Amino acid sequence: MKTYLGIDVGSISTKLVLIDEKNQVLSYFYFRTEGNPIKAVQEGLKKLKKQVPEGAEIVGVGTTGSARYLAGVITGADLIKNEITAHAKGVNCFIPDARTVIEIGGQDSKIIILENGVAVDFAMQTVCAAGTGSFLDAQSFRLGIPIEKFGDFALKSKKPTIVASRCTIFAESDMIHKQQIGHPIEDIIAGLCHGLVRNFLNNVARGKNIQPPIVFLGGVSKNIGMRKAFEETLGQKIIVPKYNTVMGALGTAILVKELVPKKTKFLGFGISNKEIKCTSFQCKGCPNQCEVIEARIDGKIVARWGDRCGKWSNLNPQ
């Protein structure tokens, strides 16, 4: 059996998806990156190795996410793709008529506008954490409510409190103020969800032609309070598909399958037990003074990147 592996390494979570030639998901994992993308990839491969079907062969590997290049280097990926393309591909496979994709992850959020399955417009928010998974995690911790139950509290609200949501600082201080004057906790949480939706639509999605079907992805899509807030604000049904938290990895696996590599460059599961280190240095060759990243596996240089002119990256082993 020929199989294809997609790896999505984000700032908060790492996702792996293994598919067959019919795009059927054979195995998938979603877990915390914990600030160490190299270790996360190695641990993910260890977990995956135990679930690869007998007789299956991985003939293609693709990476995406904010650490996609690093993940691609240490695994020997055949394809390295941006998150926009990866998510669009995954959504198109399962919901071909989707027109809008909302994806909210740990530290960023994005909107993708699709036409006939192709991304024709997009926007990303990476400078403010308001509305992202990390902000919601912080508020659930502060309130002493498990993040898994955050949405349930929001659904209990009959009259959501108006919460300032222009940025994380304003939102948190306003939530504290509303608590201090006696607003019920469920109304505050529902108000926070609505405020974060307004923040997303007024910033990330400003000027975008949001048309149904609308698909909601990312870790935050598991929060039913956020789903309801989007539905009430947009007046449209929000679709949260299966594999909503690993769609980027799934889309990457499909993309590498369509690439049909003649021979995969995948370094194998043994990479999980090797010593992998990354360092950097500043090139003094020109006024750009690029920061060059250097990756070593068991002490051997396997790749350099980050230079604009290719002086160092062109020396990479082929």
Tokens describing residue 294:
């250097």
Q: Are residues 132 and 165 in the same domain?
A: yes
SS3 76: coil
SS3 120: strand
In this prediction, residue 318 carries a pLDDT of 60
Instruction: Answer with the one of 240, 265, 287 that is the final residue of a domain.
Output: 240
More confident residue, 109 or 128: 109
pLDDT tens per residue, range 22-36: 999 999 999 989 889
Q: Are residues 72 and 136 in the same domain?
A: no
In this prediction, residue 133 carries a pLDDT of 72
Q: Are residues 101 and 196 in the same domain?
A: yes
Structural domains in the chain (count)? 3
Q: Are residues 188 and 67 in the same domain?
A: no
Tell me the average pLDDT across 224-234.
93
In this prediction, residue 120 carries a pLDDT of 95
Q: Are residues 106 and 226 in the same domain?
A: yes
- Domain span at residue 75 reads 2-89+248-273
Which CATH number characterizes residue 164's domain? Answer: 3.30.420.40
Tell me the average pLDDT across 169-192.
84
Q: How far apart, in whole angstroms, are the C-alpha atoms of residue 309 and residue 149?
A: 50
Q: What is the pTM of this model?
A: 0.89
Q: Outline where DSSP puts E strands in the chain.
A: 2-9, 13-19, 25-32, 57-64, 79-80, 100-104, 109-115, 118-125, 214-217, 238-239, 276-282, 291-297, 300-305
At 81, the pLDDT band (50, 70, 90 cuts) reads: very high
Residue 308 in this model has a pLDDT that exceeds 80: yes
At 294, the pLDDT band (50, 70, 90 cuts) reads: very high
Q: Could you tell me which residues come within 8 angstroms of residue 288 by beta carbon, excluding any fewer than 6 positions away? A: 308, 309
Q: Are residues 168 and 224 in the same domain?
A: yes
Tell me the average pLDDT across 265-274.
94
List the one residue out of 123, 9, 113 whose CA is nearest residue 69.
9
